[in-house]
């Protein structure tokens, strides 16, 4: 049985409710009431009179009124049977809404109103991996601009060849970086199907008059999944300061003449036989470089390392020569020949475990800030979270309390990182969750760690479930290790031991699984002895490893002790 690589956290906090509204007042319908954030994608609203555009607050069917928030104020708009209502049966708070006002009334009275639909990309505007491959490799002779809409650091970490970085949050200030020819093909991509940065960017440039706009919705993950290479920049190496494994594939002899500081020299032909030398952490960024950007030369090695379960394998853009050409210094002498990986979190990054505890405990000194779009929030949200879409954040900072630590989240971590940078710049104490989050009903799934349920993790059920693995599965092994780590942190050592054993069954070559299991064995015995002192007795059943080798440990009832 395979488990979803996510963590479910109970929703225990009360729903966030807007309890204080600004004065609800009438306004002349000749004056357009438009929230600034609406103008980001709908610049034409500034030319319209007799409209209200903002976010939905509340609807009274009996009184036939709609409350709409525009900036810091809330307005009440009336409607009747003649009003054109383009509304769903149930309307979630903060969904974007536009209202056309009747010209024959002095107060706010709607002639038509509708919510803004979620961004949907027409099929003919979706670019495929094959499309991008044809453009990048030159198989398709077409002038194009490929835009990475993610935060700058994500671009530097790994981007599609030929792409340029224009983060979505800076689009409105970087129109000059777009082509003058508005018929030129522009393709936006971001962090995959769960990321809305590229669809929002495409919608924005269409508002600016560009006619040939596409979205590569599979994004960087889809490009990588298709067996293609992502490029890492020298800027990433400089800013991340060693939170990666950098391999000089030219080999030690050539590297002696000069290499990038921090690199490990391993000749390209030797890589395939050194799986055991790589970090146990399959999330470790692995970056290969040669003399220049020779993707065909390095592609087989990238494929090999990915086949070992490493998820972040890339090639240094322009290689060693590009490093020198940028004015950066090279190291001299004997390069390292053994890999050492000692990662440190990004500034402001919060771990999955800490974020899970914040969700569960809802501490008074912490605010969870959801920076997803209204349609994402309508599909499911953390009850205790405040929602301010990323593209509205800078204009709504006054709504966020400054006496709390703000923890931003989105769907993938990318918009959350952008929000963190905005918040820090504005003087807030801020953190961000740098992983995936899905909210389904009353279950919240975080990243690639453990699964929690109700008040405590349902780890016992996972530990007792049969595991069927025909070939080594490093990803499943990693999940079981993380399940076990959570059980261990909760001092449920027998369950931790069972989960670590399942990790071994998933991948008997995992040294981390064996070490974790060995650690849990001792604690599991102590836990069982507290419950039943008679379990400590003469050795009875020897415990063996999967290959039949005895561990030297014994148990009365196969407790792994």
Confidence category of residue 494, pLDDT binned at 50, 70, 90: confident
According to CATH, the topology of domain 244-325 is Oxidized Rhodanese; domain 1 (3.40.250)
Whether the per-residue pLDDT at 246 is higher than 90: the answer is: yes
Give tens-digit pLDDT for 353-389: 788 888 888 899 999 999 988 877 877 788 889 999 8
Lowest-confidence segment of 252-266, 273-287, 314-328 by average pLDDT? 273-287
Task: Tell which wins on pLDDT, 525 or 54.
Answer: 54
Residue ranges matching CATH 3.40.250.10 in the chain? 123-225, 244-325, 349-446
Catalytic residue among 38, 190, 195, 410: 410
Task: Tell which wins on pLDDT, 459 or 318.
Answer: 318
Give tens-digit pLDDT for 188-217: 999 887 677 899 899 889 989 999 999 999
Phi, psi of 370 (to 5 degrees): -95, 115
With tokens 């069982």, the residue in question is 528
Domain 123-225 has CATH 3.40.50.2000: no
> pTM for the complete prediction?
0.54
Strands (E), 388-483: 405-409, 430-433, 437-440, 443-446
SS3 assignment for 135-166:
HHCCCCCCCEEEEECCCHHHHHHCECCCCEEC
According to CATH, the topology of domain 33-115 is OB fold (Dihydrolipoamide Acetyltransferase, E2P) (2.40.50)
Q: Which CATH homologous superfamily contains domain 349-446?
A: Rhodanese-like domain (3.40.250.10)
Q: What pLDDT is recorded for position 468?
A: 58
Give tens-digit pLDDT for 542-553: 444 455 544 444
- C-alpha closest to that of 381 among 131, 59, 95, 125: 95
Phi, psi of 153 (to 5 degrees): -65, -35
Lowest-confidence segment of 170-179, 227-236, 438-447 by average pLDDT? 438-447
Rounded to an integer, what distance in angstroms lies between the CA atom of residue 228 and that of residue 327? 29
552 sits in the region (left: phi over 0; alpha: psi -120 to 50; else beta) called left
Q: What pLDDT is recorded for position 423?
A: 95
Residue ranges matching CATH 2.40.50.140 in the chain? 33-115
Tokens of 213: 């706009």
Is residue 41 annotated as a catalytic residue, yes or no?
no
The DSSP string of 69-102 is EETTEEEEEE--TTSEEE--SS--TT-EEEEEEP
Q: What pLDDT is recorded for position 254?
A: 92
- For 501-530, what is the mean pLDDT? 79
Query: How many angstroms separate the first and last alpha carbons of the chain?
Result: 26
CB atoms within 10 A of CB 306: 16
Q: What pLDDT is recorded for position 529?
A: 67
Taking CA atoms, 404 is separated from 332, 363, 423, in Å, by 48, 10, 12
């Amino acid at each position: 049985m395979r488990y979803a690589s996510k963590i479910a956290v109970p929703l225990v906090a009360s729903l966030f409710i807007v309890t204080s509204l600004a004065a609800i007042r009438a306004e002349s319908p000749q004056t357009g009431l438009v929230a600034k954030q609406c103008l980001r994608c709908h610049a034409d609203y500034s030319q319209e009179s007799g409209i209200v555009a903002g976010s939905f607050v509340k609807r009274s069917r009996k009184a036939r009124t709609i409350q709409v928030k525009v900036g810091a104020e809330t307005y009440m708009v009336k409607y009747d049977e003649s009003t054109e209502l383009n509304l769903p049966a149930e309307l979630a708070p903060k969904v974007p809404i536009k209202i056309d006002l009747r010209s024959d009334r002095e107060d706010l009275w709607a002639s038509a109103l509708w919510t803004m639909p979620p961004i949907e990309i027409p099929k003919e505007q979706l670019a495929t991996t094959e499309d991008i491959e044809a453009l990048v490799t030159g198989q398709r002779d077409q002038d194009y601009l490929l835009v990475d809409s993610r935060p700058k650091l994500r671009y530097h970490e790994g981007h599609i060849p030929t792409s340029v970085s224009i983060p979505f949050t800076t689009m409105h200030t970087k129109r000059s970086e777009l082509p003058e020819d508005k018929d030129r093909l522009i393709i936006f991509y971001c962090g995959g199907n769960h990321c809305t940065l590229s669809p929002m960017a495409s919608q924005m440039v269409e508002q600016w008059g560009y006619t040939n706009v596409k979205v590569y919705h599979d994004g960087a993950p889809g490009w990588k999944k298709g067996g293609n290479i992502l490029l890492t920049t020298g800027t990433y190496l400089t800013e991340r300061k060693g939170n990666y494994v950098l391999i000089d594939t030219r080999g030690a002899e050539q590297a002696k003449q000069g290499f990038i500081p921090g690199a490990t020299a391993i000749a390209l032909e030797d890589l395939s036989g050194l799986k055991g030398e790589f970090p146990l952490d399959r999330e470790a960024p692995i970056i290969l470089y040669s003399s220049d950007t020779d993707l065909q030369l390095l592609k087989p090695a990238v494929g090999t390392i990915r086949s070992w379960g490493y998820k972040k394998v890339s090639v240094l853009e322009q290689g060693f020569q590009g490093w020198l050409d940028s004015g950066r210094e090279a190291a001299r002498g004997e390069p390292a020949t053994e890999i050492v990986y000692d990662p440190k979190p990004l500034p402001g990054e919060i771990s999955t475990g800490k974020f899970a505890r914040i969700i569960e405990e809802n501490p008074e000194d912490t605010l969870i800030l959801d920076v997803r779009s209204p349609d994402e929030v309508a599909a499911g949200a953390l009850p205790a979270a405040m929602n301010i879409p990323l593209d509205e954040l800078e204009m709504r900072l006054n709504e966020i309390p400054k006496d709390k630590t703000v923890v931003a989240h989105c769907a993938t971590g990318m918009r959350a990182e952008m929000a963190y940078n905005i918040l820090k710049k504005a003087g807030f104490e801020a953190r961000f969750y740098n992983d995936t989050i899905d909210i389904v009903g009353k279950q919240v799934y975080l990243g690639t760690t453990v699964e929690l349920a109700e008040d405590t993790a349902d780890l016992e059920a996972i530990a007792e479930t049969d595991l069927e693995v025909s070939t080594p599965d490093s990803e499943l092994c990693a999940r079981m290790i993380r399940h076990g780590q959570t059980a261990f942190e909760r001092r449920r050592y027998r369950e931790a031991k069972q989960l670590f054993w399942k990790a071994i069954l998933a991948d008997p070559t995992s040294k981390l699984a064996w070490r974790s299991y060995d650690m849990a064995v001792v604690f599991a015995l102590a836990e069982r002895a507290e419950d039943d002192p008679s379990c400590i007795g003469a050795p009875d059943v020897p415990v063996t490893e999967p290959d039949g080798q005895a561990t030297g440990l014994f148990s009365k009832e196969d407790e792994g002790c």
